């Protein structure tokens, strides 16, 4: 068994980081004075995308 098979690929690491940054950015934007009307929806979508991505990685045996 390859011990590295549970590690994220560089692409997966970058994608995970980007998705986390999207959630963080939208959470911060939610409380600004100029928050967009659809920020709640965008934040929900970003959180959902991150959740699905992480679930799929874990199903594939990746350690996060």
pLDDT at 2: 57
One DSSP character per residue, the chain reads --GGGGSPPHHHHHHHHHHHHHHHHHHHHHTSTT--TTHHHHHHHHHHHHHHHHHHHHHTT---
Rounded distance, CA 35 to CA 56, Å? 31
Q: Which domain holds residue 1?
A: 1-31
pLDDT at 36: 74
In a domain, 19, yes or no: yes
In a domain, 21, yes or no: yes
In a domain, 17, yes or no: yes
pLDDT at 46: 97
In a domain, 22, yes or no: yes
Q: What is the pLDDT along the chain (64 residues), one digit of tens a residue?
A: 455 788 999 999 999 999 999 999 999 988 777 777 788 899 999 999 999 999 999 999 998 8
In a domain, 15, yes or no: yes
pLDDT at 35: 72
Number of domains in the chain: 1
pLDDT at 64: 87
With a CB cutoff of 8 Å and minimum separation 6, the contacts of 1 are none
Rounded distance, CA 9 to CA 51, Å? 18
In a domain, 44, yes or no: no
In a domain, 37, yes or no: no
């Amino acid at each position: 068994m390859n011990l590295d098979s549970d590690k994220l690929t560089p692409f997966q690491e970058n994608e995970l980081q980007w998705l986390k940054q999207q959630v963080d950015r939208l959470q911060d934007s939610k409380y600004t004075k100029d928050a967009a009307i659809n920020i709640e929806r965008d934040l929900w979508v970003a959180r959902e995308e991150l959740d699905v991505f992480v679930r799929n990685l874990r199903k594939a045996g990746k350690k996060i």
